[in-house]
């Protein structure tokens, strides 16, 4: 590998160069067709010959007539045609034709050796002389169309590209340093190009790669064939494989362009051979074979044998091939493009699927196609055909079709660009009919395949035909639902019906001063507006496709003229619809509905009409550094800078500029009211296209002229009727304007605040989610499926649209900080139009953050808005499940605390409309009366008492409503007020007999003991015991600790309380180990030792033989017996040891009464008798217990 970052080979040569045409020679009696030997003056191509014209002329001296003629012939005629046309061609003329036949423009070399170039006006749609040499001119523009700048013969600069000096001609920056073009310039500047020789139409030389730390210097042989200012084949020894020319080819080409005086020039080799006699020819052949005998000897012998054979094929043809004699008349005249490498690269990128960079690489190839089209290079259509073939061969298409799944979003966007490029090619204004027919046949073939992707992303609702007129009437038939499928190529195929021969169209694009004639015929009145400016009445996306075709094929001026005519047409339609609306306004406002006048939206349309017009206008105003050739590695770009360029002279409104027109048409297009399309991809494309247009608008620096345009168009949109998405009444399924309005609001705010707020508030609507009894006039033919009221669940991008609505509201809240009246209006709009609790909560949080900055004072007005929004969120989520509900409640209390004590009192008093009882007691009231809140608000005693009183009232109300969840919280909140505390306790006692669980009652009982009410705690514990049921095998139940605590409490209170609790324990607890633990604890200490003050303890330990412990003892022994039998039913040998330990604990309990040892012995005997089959286990029992 010769160079670190490059692929193995950039371009492989064709097996047979197209330049190797047959060169015949005349009979000895005929004159030499290229000048007689005598006229050669010292032989053909003497040693001193070079590419420099004889007698170097001063820099500013006019070119000679010979050079002017030779330049034109060299770029227009194949050399074979010159030979046929003129019997005798003097050698100086031959030399000049050969000299001028090499490409003269570095931009052309750059185009074939880098992803994309940008530089000067020629790089964009407004490209001129520097961007395209006459060789790429192709057929003339359509009849009546003016030739674009630089398309006249001789527009290309002779010799070398102007302003592209050594190295410095390329814009700096590391983005494209690894590209072949950049590397080729470095090789040229470092003196790596040597032995350059031009023989006829063949250039050769050596290029040396400098040595690196890891590799020695390597020299490569490079050969280039050319014809009519195009490189037709390249050969390089580096072996790199890529679409673009390698750096060595670039270096040799630039050497020839920049240093023609250092290149040795010879006429085609056939001329030299013709001047030799027999001896010279034999000597020449033998020396040639000797110099390269190992390579050419077998071939030389084979050729000699064939020539000596009279019947050989070689003797049937007159003349012999000459690789240096230029191309044949029949050879296609185009730049060398390695088709196999294009196919391989596209196939590779497609196979990488969604991996990073693959889509970017393919987009770069599409950009390269557009660049070729702009240079009027026939390889543009050729390269696109190769790309399309690989796209159609993508195996994922079949897989997606079989599985019924849609393609990935990135892949879908690539197909869209592919379809748009084919539309551009079919609408090429200078293509030949046979070329167009060939393309259409191929497109139809692809279109008929089942796997061909559909235009609408595999959804059935199609858009109108490309050639339809604007849908202003009801003529659109109702058979729309049964239209045939439309693929990504359908619009290109429909382009066959479009032509450029319309006389009105020709006059529009051919002249800046075309205006209405003084005496108009009736048929001409519709073609001009009231100011006499021409209109172009065509389906808007179709008209814009024409603009894109003109712009893409190097007709920037024509594209601008047609763009202005389209904008004038849109203005007139906007004005007429506004007048119609004024007459219908009263009726529409009463109905509250409107119809959709635009069947298809311009934003998100497959042809991107608004984006096309905008780019055409802004590129005419873009400032570029003249003389720079900026090479981009992967479409990297610097932020554009624009200036006002007046609309061409002759327009009545001369104050307008192309930049203000760009602003106007973008606003008009994005403000268009249009129905939301069907399907996920179509809806996502609407959002994405809108964001792209807005990002381009944001690149414009708003000055007075643009602000006036902005204000004027915003007023029209606000006052507009059915054509405007910001009109007073819109259709229920109209595409929302939130993202668009956010841009308008931010742009207008510094200049016209009232208009900006009016517009943003109008745009807050989201009708598809708002209650509507009617979806509009269902009799209107444009509604079709879209009038179904329940369609909104098919708005796949609804979540994104709602988030944009929230962003618009947040932007307004931020801007209106401190303005009470505006904030109130914005708050009402939010409460009316936003339907997502999560988004309102986000707005509330945003408002809170803005209102409480860390470095300045709090803004009370905005803080109140945040609180109002928070209260609305509480009301919206009160009866619905929301995983963020607890976070919302806590935030609201924090916000209310910041507002003040009155806000806290208010939410405490109206808690039932905002919170659940649990939230109100555990979070709201507890936080409101906390020490932290009191300190934060610096409350005095009356305020603290008022807050505490409200919290107690809330607690009791919540406890009454949900005692199971709120009783404990109510007791806690009321503990400082005796009456309230008693009421809360009574609520808990009353609820204990109902639905409260034992765990809830034990928790309250423990709280009462903690607060110094043991008897009340005992009462609650007794109630809890009656709710408990502990089975024999639940020795790890979570309630065991509560049971032990309750027994300890009753034991500490005295014998009577213990006697009252033990029957409940015996009834509820059947686990032997738990009962034995209780029994042990009760016998360790005397009852009443930890009782209430005033109670005297008996001081004697309780006996297990007497009440109340006797009942507990019997229950424990019975539990052990029952548990033993239960465990032995399904015991396994690995549990024998554990069972023996269990019997040991049982024996401890059996031995507590006086006759306990007899009971245990009898118990063991019974086990031995009943379970004698378990011999091993019974052996263990005997060993331990006898």
Mean pLDDT of 263-292: 86
Torsion of CA 517, 521, 524, 526, to 10 degrees: 110
Average model confidence (pLDDT) across the chain: 81
**pLDDT of the residue at 482:** 52
Q: pLDDT (tens digit, 9 = 90+) per residue, 307-362? A: 888 788 888 778 788 788 877 777 778 888 888 888 988 998 888 875 556 778 88
Spatial separation of the C-alpha atoms in residues 347 and 27, rounded to whole Å: 53
Q: Structure tokens of 425?
A: 């090619």
Q: pLDDT (tens digit, 9 = 90+) per residue, 170-204? A: 333 344 566 889 889 999 999 889 999 999 888 99
**pLDDT of the residue at 478:** 42
Spatial separation of the C-alpha atoms in residues 724 and 674, rounded to whole Å: 8
Task: Say yes or no to pLDDT of 164 above 80.
Answer: no
Contacts within 8 Å (CB) and 24+ apart, 1007-1015: 1007/968, 1007/971, 1007/972, 1008/971, 1009/1049, 1011/975, 1014/1049, 1014/1052, 1014/1053, 1014/1091, 1014/1092, 1015/1053, 1015/1092
pTM (2 decimals)? 0.78
Place of tokens 């050594």: 166
**pLDDT of the residue at 898:** 94
Task: Using DSSP bridges, classify how beta strands 264-266 and 193-199 pair: parallel, antiparallel or unpaired.
Answer: parallel
Spatial separation of the C-alpha atoms in residues 463 and 491, rounded to whole Å: 10
Mean pLDDT of 846-855: 92
Q: Are 847 and 869 in contact (CB under 8 A)?
A: yes
Spatial separation of the C-alpha atoms in residues 182 and 542, rounded to whole Å: 40
Q: Structure tokens of 124?
A: 């964009």
**DSSP letter, residue 923:** I
Q: Structure tokens of 1104?
A: 């297990």
Q: Rounded to an integer, what is the distance from CA 146 to the centroid of its chain?
A: 40
Q: Quickly count: other Cβ atoms within 10 Å of residue 318's Cβ.
A: 8
- Which range, of 140-144, 208-212, 871-875, 1049-1053, averages the lowest pLDDT? 140-144
Task: Say yes or no to pLDDT of 544 above 90.
Answer: yes
Q: Structure tokens of 1165?
A: 């005997």
**pLDDT of the residue at 826:** 96
Angle of the 1156-1170 helix axis to the 1109-1129 helix axis, nearest 10: 20
Q: Are 1070 and 1032 in contact (CB under 8 A)?
A: yes
**pLDDT of the residue at 840:** 96
Q: What CATH number belongs to 815-1049+1079-1099?
A: 1.25.40
Spatial separation of the C-alpha atoms in residues 651 and 666, rounded to whole Å: 21
Q: Quickly count: other Cβ atoms within 10 Å of residue 999's Cβ.
A: 14
Instruction: Specify the 3-state DSSP secondary structure of 46.
Output: coil
Task: Say yes or no to pLDDT of 631 above 80.
Answer: no
Straight-line distance from the first to the last Cα atom of the chain, in angstroms, rounded to the nearest whole number:
92
Q: pLDDT (tens digit, 9 = 90+) per residue, 921-977? A: 999 999 999 999 999 999 899 999 999 999 999 999 999 999 999 999 999 999 999
Return the higher-pLDDT residue of 1094 and 16. 1094
Mean pLDDT of 139-152: 38
Torsion of CA 976, 979, 982, 986, to 10 degrees: -140
Task: Say yes or no to pLDDT of 268 above 60.
Answer: yes
Tell me the percentage of the chain whose pLDDT exceeds 90: 40
Q: What confidence tier does 1180 reach under pLDDT thresholds 50, 70, 90? A: confident
Burial class of residue 779 in the structure, from the number of CB atoms within 10 Å of its CB (0-12 exposed, 13-18 middle, 19+ buried)? exposed
Angle of the 963-974 helix axis to the 941-961 helix axis, nearest 10: 160
Cβ neighbors of 944 (< 8 A, separation 6 or more) are 934
Per residue in 71-92, is it b (16+ CB within 10 Å) or e — as a string?
Answer: bebbbebbbbebbeeeeebebe
Spatial separation of the C-alpha atoms in residues 507 and 970, rounded to whole Å: 88
Spatial separation of the C-alpha atoms in residues 92 and 261, rounded to whole Å: 16
Domain extents in the chain: 272-321, 339-470+489-496, 523-626+638-734+766-796, 815-1049+1079-1099, 1131-1185
Task: Say yes or no to pLDDT of 399 above 70.
Answer: yes
Q: Are 130 and 43 in contact (CB under 8 A)?
A: no
**DSSP letter, residue 404:** T
């Amino acid at each position: 590998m010769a160079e670190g970052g490059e692929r193995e080979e950039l371009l492989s040569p064709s097996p047979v160069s197209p330049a190797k045409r047959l060169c015949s020679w005349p009979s000895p009696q005929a004159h030499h067709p290229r000048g007689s030997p005598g006229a050669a003056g010292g032989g053909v191509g003497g040693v001193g010959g070079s590419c420099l014209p004889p007698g170097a002329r001063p820099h500013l001296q006019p070119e000679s007539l010979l050079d002017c003629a030779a330049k034109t012939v060299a770029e227009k005629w194949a050399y074979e045609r010159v030979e046929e046309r003129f019997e005798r061609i003097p050698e100086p003329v031959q030399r000049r034709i050969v000299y001028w036949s090499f490409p003269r423009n570095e931009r052309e070399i750059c185009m074939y050796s880098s992803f994309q170039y940008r530089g000067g006006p020629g790089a964009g749609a407004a490209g001129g002389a520097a961007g395209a040499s006459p060789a790429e001119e192709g057929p003339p523009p359509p009849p009546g169309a003016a030739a674009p700048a630089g398309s006249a013969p001789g527009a290309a600069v002779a010799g070398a590209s102007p302003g592209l000096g050594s190295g410095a001609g390329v814009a700096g920056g590391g983005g494209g340093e690894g590209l072949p073009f950049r590397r080729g310039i470095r090789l040229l500047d470092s003196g790596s190009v040597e032995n350059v020789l031009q023989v006829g139409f063949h250039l050769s030389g050596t290029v040396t790669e400098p040595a690196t730390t890891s590799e020695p210097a390597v020299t490569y042989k490079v050969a280039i064939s050319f014809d009519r200012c195009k490189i037709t084949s390249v050969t390089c020894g580096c072996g790199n494989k890529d679409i673009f020319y390698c750096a060595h080819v670039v270096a040799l080409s630039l050497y020839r362009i920049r240093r023609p005086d250092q290149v040795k020039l010879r006429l085609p080799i056939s001329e030299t051979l013709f001047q030799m006699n027999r001896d010279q020819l034999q000597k020449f052949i033998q020396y040639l074979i000797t110099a390269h005998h190992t390579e050419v000897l077998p071939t030389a012998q084979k050729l000699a044998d064939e020539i000596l054979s009279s019947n050989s094929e070689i003797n049937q043809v007159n003349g012999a091939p000459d690789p240096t004699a230029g191309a044949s008349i029949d050879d296609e005249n185009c730049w060398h493009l390695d088709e196999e490498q294009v196919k391989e690269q596209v196939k590779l990128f497609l196979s990488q699927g969604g991996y990073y960079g693959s889509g970017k690489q393919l987009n770069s190839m599409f950009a390269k196609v557009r660049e070729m089209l702009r240079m009027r290079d026939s390889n543009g259509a050729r390269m696109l055909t190769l790309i399309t073939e690989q796209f159609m061969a993508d195996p994922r298409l079949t897989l997606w079709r079989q599985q019924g799944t849609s393609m990935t979003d990135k892949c879908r966007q690539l197909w869209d660009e592919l379809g748009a490029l084919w539309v551009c090619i079919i609408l090429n204004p200078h293509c030949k009919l046979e070329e167009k027919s060939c393309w259409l046949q191929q497109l139809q073939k692809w279109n008929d395949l089942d796997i061909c992707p559909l235009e609408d992303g595999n959804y059935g609702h199609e858009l109108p035909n490309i050639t339809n007129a604007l849908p202003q009437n009801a003529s659109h038939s109702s058979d729309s639902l049964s239209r045939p499928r439309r693929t990504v190529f359908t619009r290109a195929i429909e382009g066959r019906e479009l032509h450029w021969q319309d006389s009105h169209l020709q006059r529009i694009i051919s002249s800046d001063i075309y205006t209405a004639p003084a005496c108009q015929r009736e048929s001409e009145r519709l073609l001009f507006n009231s100011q006499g400016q021409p209109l172009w009445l065509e389906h808007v996306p179709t008209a814009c496709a024409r603009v894109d075709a003109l712009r893409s094929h190097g007709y920037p001026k024509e594209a601008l003229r047609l763009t202005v005519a389209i904008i004038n047409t849109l203005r007139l339609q906007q004005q007429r619809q506004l007048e119609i609306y004024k007459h219908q306004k009263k009726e529409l406002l009463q109905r509250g509905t409107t119809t959709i006048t635009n069947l298809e939206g311009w934003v998100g349309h497959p042809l991107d009409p608004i984006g096309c017009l905008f780019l055409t206008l802004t590129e005419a105003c873009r400032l570029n550094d003249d003389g720079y050739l900026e090479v981009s590695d992967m479409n990297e770009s610097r932020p554009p800078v624009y200036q006002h360029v007046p609309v061409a002279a002759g327009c009545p409104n001369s104050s307008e500029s192309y930049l203000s027109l760009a602003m106007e048409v973008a606003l008009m297009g994005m403000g268009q009211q249009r129905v939301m399309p069907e399907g996920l991809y179509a809806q996502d494309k609407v959002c994405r296209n809108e964001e792209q247009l807005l990002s381009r608008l944001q690149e414009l620096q708003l000055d007075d002229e643009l602000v006036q345009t902005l204000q004027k168009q915003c007023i029209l949109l606000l006052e507009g009727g059915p054509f405007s998405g910001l009109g007073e009444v819109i259709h229920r399924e109209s595409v929302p304007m939130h993202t668009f309005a956010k841009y308008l609001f931010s742009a207008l705010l510094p200049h016209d605040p009232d208009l900006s707020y009016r517009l943003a508030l109008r745009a807050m609507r989201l009708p598809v989610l708002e209650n509507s009894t009617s979806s509009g006039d269902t009799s209107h033919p444009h509604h079709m499926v879209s009038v179904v009221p329940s369609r909104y669940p098919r708005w796949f991008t609804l979540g994104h649209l709602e988030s944009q609505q929230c962003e618009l509201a947040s932007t307004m809240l931020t801007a209106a900080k401190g303005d009470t009246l505006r904030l109130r209006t914005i708050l009402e709009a939010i409460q009316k139009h936003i339907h997502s609790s999560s988004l309102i909560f986000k707005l509330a949080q945003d408002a809170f953050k803005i209102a409480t900055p860390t470095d300045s004072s709090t803004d009370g007005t905005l803080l109140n808005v945040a609180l109002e929004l928070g209260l609305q969120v509480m009301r919206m989520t009160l009866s619905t499940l929301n995983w963020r509900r607890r976070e919302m409640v806590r935030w609201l209390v924090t916000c209310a605390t910041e507002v003040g004590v009155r806000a806290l009192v208010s939410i405490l008093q109206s808690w039932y409309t905002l919170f659940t009882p649990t939230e109100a007691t555990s979070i709201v009231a507890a936080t409101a009366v906390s020490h932290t809140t009191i300190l934060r608000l610096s409350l005095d005693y009356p305020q603290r008492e008022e807050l505490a009183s409200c919290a107690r009232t809330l607690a009791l109300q919540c406890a009454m409503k949900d005692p199971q969840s709120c009783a404990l919280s109510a007791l806690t909140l009321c503990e400082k007020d005796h009456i309230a505390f008693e009421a809360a306790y009574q609520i808990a006692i009353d609820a204990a007999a109902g639905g409260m669980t034992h765990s809830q009652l034990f928790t309250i009982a423990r709280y009462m003991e903690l607060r110094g009410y043991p008897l009340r705690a005992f009462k609650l514990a007794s109630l809890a015991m009656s709710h408990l049921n502990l089975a024999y095998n639940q020795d790890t139940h979570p309630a065991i600790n509560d049971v032990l605590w309750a027994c300890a409490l009753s034991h500490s209170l005295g014998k009577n309380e213990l006697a009252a609790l033990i029957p409940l324990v015996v009834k509820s607890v059947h686990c032997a180990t738990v009962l034995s633990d209780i029994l042990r604890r009760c016998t360790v200490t005397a009852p009443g030792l930890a009782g209430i003050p005033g109670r005297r303890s008996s001081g004697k330990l309780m006996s297990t033989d007497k009440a109340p412990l006797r009942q507990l003892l019997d229950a424990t022994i019975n539990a052990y017996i029952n548990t033993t039998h239960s465990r032995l039913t399904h015991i396994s040998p690995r549990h024998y040891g554990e069972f023996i330990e269990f019997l040991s604990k049982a024996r401890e309990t059996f031995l507590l009464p006086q006759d306990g040892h007899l009971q245990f012995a009898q118990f063991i005997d019974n086990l031995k008798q009943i379970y004698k089959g378990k011999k091993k286990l019974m052996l263990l029992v005997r060993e331990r217990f006898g």
